[in-house]
Structure formats: C-alpha cells, structure tokens
C-alpha cells in the first residue's frame, strides 16, 4: 500500500470512527452525487446528517451541492450517499476531493457509483440525456498519487462488466443509455468554443469538472466503479443560448426521475454478486 494511502487512512480514521458509531448499518456501496443530487433521491433515508456535523469532512460551496450524508437501501445493498461533492476549483486539495471515497472504503464498501452534470461537446448527446461513462480523460492537471495501485486494480476502473450488465438491464425495462467519454477539466469557467473543439478532437463526448479523481482513488483501493453523466447543456459554440448554472440545475431536475431509476438499477446488477 502506498505511503499516500496510509497517510490518508490516518487522517480520516477519526471521521470513520465517528460514522461507524452512528450509522445504523454498514454500507456495501457508496454514491457520490454531483450537481442537483438533492432533487434526484426519491426515498426517505434510513439515516442522514449534514456534512458540517461530521468531524473533519469539508463542506461544498457550490449551488446544487447541499452537503448531506445519508444511508439508503438501493438495489441489493445499503448505500452511503454523499449528496454534494468537493471540487478542485473550490480550493480543495486532491485528498479532500476524494475524502468520500477514502471514508467509504474504510467503512468497507465494494462498489462506488458517481454522478455528474456534463456539457456535450458533440451534437450526438443532447441536454437531458443520461450517459454511462466508458472512458475518462483527466485534463485537470492533478492526479491521485497512487499509480501502482491503479495498475493492480485497473479492471475495476469504470468496470466494463458492471457497465455492460447495467446497460442490458436498462434496455430490458425500456431505458436506453448511450456510452460516452468524459473529459474532466479544472474549471470553474465553462469551455470556450476553441476548447470545446479541442475536446471533441481528442475523443471527448462530454466535459465536466469532477469525477476522475474519485474514480482513480476508488480503483486504487480495490473498489469497482461506475460513472453516470447527465448532459445538462451544449458546450459553447454548439448553441446560441447563454450558459448558466441555473440552466444546469433545471435540466437535472427534469431528468431526475430517469437518473434515479438508473442509479437504482446500478445497485441491482452489482458485479461479484
């Protein structure tokens, strides 16, 4: 195990012990929700508390990330749900961005689902579409320093078996989710037309400002990962409408019922069960 992982375990041990003493069930899965996650969840949690009450846990500063931790039954297991994430552009360091992953892993999870709001850099995917992330491009200029562990568990990164099972399950109930390549940039500004063109040229379908570091960290910890993108806007240059975060949240609200069904299904078709 890398020295970085060992140091992070020491750092987050008090937080984990605090949660272990209060959680009514130990989670087998975790869900990190991006923008607008608070409008997606439909069921009442078994337990919840604000991030601000959890010792050591940062608090998001971005609209649509309320910062609430909850325990839900989803699919076939208990899931620890982080409603709101931390971004590098807020001033957080990588080890704080991936805190939910480290904490969940120390509590014993085997599966991680992450959601995000993304802009489409191609006309193939329109606002309101829900996509299963097939590949990721890390263009944030930051990385989790755990290269050897990522190689050891590479097959868990955006787990192909899990994604394939989920896609087939969704098709069986009349929901079709295309697969896409997600590009992560630092943010917080939206992309210029030239940047959107560059992203399209190097193979990206959608772009956002999160997700990759959580996936890197979870993979190194031996946790299977799945990422789901909700397309919330066209990238600059593909549409004349002015981009705004309010538009992102409005599209997420409209897509929330479908996204919730996809999340529930993801925890229904868990690999290894």
Q: List the pLDDT tens digit at each of the 273 positions of the chain.
A: 678 999 999 999 999 999 999 999 999 999 999 988 888 998 999 999 999 999 999 999 988 899 999 999 999 999 999 999 999 999 999 999 999 999 999 999 999 999 999 999 999 999 999 999 999 999 999 999 886 776 788 889 999 999 999 999 999 999 999 999 999 999 998 889 999 999 999 999 999 999 999 999 999 999 999 999 999 999 887 776 666 777 777 888 899 999 999 999 999 999 987
Evaluated on CA atoms 261, 167, 219, 107, the torsion sign reads positive
Indicate the angle between helix axes 212-220 and 99-106, nearest 10 degrees: 30
CA distance 89 to 43: 31
Evaluated on CA atoms 15, 21, 27, 31, the torsion sign reads negative
pLDDT at site 63: 82
| DSSP code of residue 27 | -
Structure tokens at 196: 């959107």
pLDDT at site 78: 98
Question: Cα 105 to chain center, whole Å?
Answer: 15
pLDDT at site 241: 67
Rg (CA), the chain: 17
Torsion of CA 269, 39, 86, 130, to 10 degrees: 50
Write down the residue that tokens 């990962």 correspond to.
225
pLDDT at site 128: 95
Indicate the angle between helix axes 3-20 and 99-106, nearest 10 degrees: 70
The domain 3-266 is classified under which CATH number: 3.40.50.1580, 3.10.105.10, 1.20.810.10, 3.30.470.160?
3.40.50.1580
Q: Is the pTM of this model over 0.85?
A: yes
Decide if 23 contacts 49 (C-beta within 8 A).
no
pLDDT at site 246: 76
Question: Strand 77-83 and strand 111-120: pairing?
Answer: unpaired
Decide if 250 contacts 63 (C-beta within 8 A).
no
| Beta carbons within 8 Å of 46's beta carbon, 6+ residues apart | 24, 25, 70, 71, 72, 73, 78
pLDDT at site 272: 87
pLDDT at site 146: 81
CA distance 72 to 76: 11
Half-sphere exposure of 212 (CA within 13 A, CB side): 22
Q: Which string of b and e fits 112-124 if b means at least 16 CB within 10 Å?
A: bbbbbbbbbbbee
Write down the residue that tokens 């899965």 correspond to.
29
CA distance 101 to 216: 10
Is residue 188 reached through a cis peptide bond, with omega within 30 degrees of 0 on the bond before it? yes
Structure tokens at 212: 């990759």
CB atoms within 10 A of CB 47: 15
Where are any strands of DSSP class E within 169-269?
179-185, 206-208, 224-234
């Amino acid at each position: 195990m890398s020295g970085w992982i060992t140091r992070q375990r020491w750092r987050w041990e008090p937080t984990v012990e605090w949660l272990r003493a209060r959680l009514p069930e130990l989670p087998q899965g975790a869900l990190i929700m991006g923008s607008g996650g608070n409008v997606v969840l439909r069921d009442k949690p078994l337990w919840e508390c604000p991030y601000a009450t959890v010792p050591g846990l940062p608090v998001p500063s971005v609209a649509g990330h309320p910062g609430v931790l909850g325990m839900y039954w989803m699919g076939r297991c208990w899931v620890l749900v982080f409603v709101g994430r931390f971004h590098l552009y807020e001033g957080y360091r990588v080890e704080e961005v991936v805190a939910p992953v480290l904490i969940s892993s120390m509590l014993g999870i085997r599966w991680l689902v992450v959601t995000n709001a993304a802009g489409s850099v191609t006309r193939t995917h329109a606002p309101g579409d829900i996509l299963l992330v097939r590949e990721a491009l890390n263009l944030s200029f930051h990385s989790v320093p755990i290269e050897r562990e990522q190689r050891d568990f590479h097959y868990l990164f955006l787990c192909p078996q899990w994604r394939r099972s989920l896609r087939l399950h969704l098709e069986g109930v009349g929901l079709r989710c295309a697969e896409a390549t997600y590009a992560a940039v630092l943010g917080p500004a939206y992309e210029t037309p030239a940047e959107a063109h560059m992203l399209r040229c190097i193979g990206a379908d959608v772009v956002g400002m999160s997700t990759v570091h959580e996936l890197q960290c979870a993979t190194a910890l031996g946790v299977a990962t799945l990422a789901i993108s909700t397309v919330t806007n066209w990238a600059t240059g593909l549409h004349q409408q002015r981009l705004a975060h309010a538009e992102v949240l409005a599209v997420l609200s409209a897509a929330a019922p479908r996204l919730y069904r996809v999340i529930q299904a993801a925890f229904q078709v868990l690999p290894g069960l």
